[in-house]
Amino acid sequence: MKLKILAISDTHLGEETSLLSYPIGVQHLWKVLRQTFSDNPEEKFDVEEMILLGDIPDRALASTSQIVVHTSALIRALGSAANIKRAVYVPGNHDHTLWTNYLRGKRSSSEEKICGSTKPSGEFIIKDGTRCDDMKYKPWAEELLSIFFGYPFGSAMRNIRDTDFVIANPLYVKAHGDRSYVFTHGTHFRGEVCLPAIIKMAADYAELDFLFGGIDIQSDCNVTKATDLESLEEVVAPFVDSLWVSSKNIPASKSDDFWYLITMMRAKLSGPLEGRKMRKVTEYSKLFSWDDLQQPSSRDRIWNISSEDDSIQRWKKYFLPHMRTSLEQNDLLRSDITFVYGDTHHGGWGAIPANEKVPERIRIYNCGGWSMHGDENYHPACHLFAVDENEQEYLLDVSFIPKGEENNYLKVGKDSLLKYAADDAENRKPSIKLSIIEKLLS
């Protein structure tokens, strides 16, 4: 099978709770990709565009050394599974500071608050095997190249001669025939981003600035003031960079503590895993076409995203109008739109019929995530979005509960990979609580 598009999101590489931070997890993904898309599993399949849809390296919750090791390992595995003509990186919230640093280097600015956006087609970092940044005077892409390809000596860097590398923010768009394919992480319509003042008020009330070493949350983020995608990025970027700061080489950063505290507070307010335990996962990874997804038999495995979903409501209110305007201005708006995002880790699919305000028919896909949340019985929605050469759309649901003898394959020591990654999340909570107590007593 030849693919026009293959997209993955929320790998959170470097984080111990990510199934793809472990070699056996990456190897399993490689095997599933070959078995699913290659006519001969011993050979590579072809991909025109590989979309890396945000939160790929976990810049906020892992050190630079960790994300370099694990991100370049995933890139090598993907390059070994497929012939990829172009890789497109769309930053998320956990790796947004990579985009900010890229811009800062490009502009030679030390200004703390710096933001910007690309055209929907993105901008080249590598084209036809040649770097597009000015290597002699302003090598602004070196950090990205080191993380994704092990620059300057990594094997992925040596093998990139036939692959273009593009960065796009806050979205990437590709038009095929009468359909526009739109990709964004989901950062710009997150709950915290749309209501940041509440987060700031809660932080001030609980004295979180004191507990976590002086986090300065930039809460003057009002998405209702945005008039287009560029101004939306301008109001969102400072808040996102202040909350999901880069941990650099600090093993346990202040954002690490803060993020897990938010996670635990959400669990208290919304219940355990918001019902996601009900998702049925079998011993087989399975490829679902658009028609397959609409069958009742798929509903217990692939979540159906309705227009009433919180993230979709925020998307329709705060992002969709600017998105449509951008597509229209760049001659990329078609009668049918496929919208693909990540961020929520829920995964799933849905559709929004045309109406007077939005005359386009819109299909929606969420690529899910690859991180465990402290319960070995919960299997994350490990989805990849794909479009074949006939423009048929798919979600590939990757199962980490393989059948038969392979049960011995996906283990770390005596424990399954799922349990091992889940235990990392559980083991981290006591250390965070102890850290908070020590700070209160000091």
pLDDT of 248 reads 66
pLDDT of 270 reads 42
Q: How far apart are CA 66 and CA 57, in angstroms?
A: 9
| 10, 58 Cβ separation under 8 angstroms | no
pLDDT of 357 reads 87
Residue 299: phi and psi, rounded to 5, are -65, -30
| 417, 399 Cβ separation under 8 angstroms | no
pLDDT of 60 reads 83
Hey, where are the domains in the chain?
Answer: 3-441
* Tens of pLDDT, residue by residue, the chain (442 residues): 899 999 999 999 998 899 999 999 999 999 999 999 999 988 999 999 999 999 999 988 888 889 999 999 999 999 999 999 999 999 999 999 999 999 988 876 655 566 789 999 999 999 988 888 877 777 789 899 999 988 876 666 656 667 899 999 999 999 988 999 999 999 999 988 998 777 666 665 555 555 555 556 777 789 999 999 999 999 999 988 887 877 665 555 555 555 555 555 444 444 444 444 467 778 889 999 999 999 998 988 999 998 778 999 999 999 999 999 999 999 999 999 999 999 999 999 999 988 888 999 999 999 999 999 777 778 999 999 999 999 999 999 999 987 665 556 788 888 889 988 888 766 666 555 555 445 444 5
- Least Cα distance to 359 among 331, 337, 375 occurs for 337
Three-state secondary structure string covering 245-308:
CCCCCCCCCHHHHHHHHHHHHHHHHHCHHHHHHHCCCCCCCEEEEHHHHCCHHHCCCCCECCCC
Q: How many CB atoms lie within 10 A of CB 355?
A: 8
Q: How far apart are CA 74 and CA 27, in angstroms?
A: 9
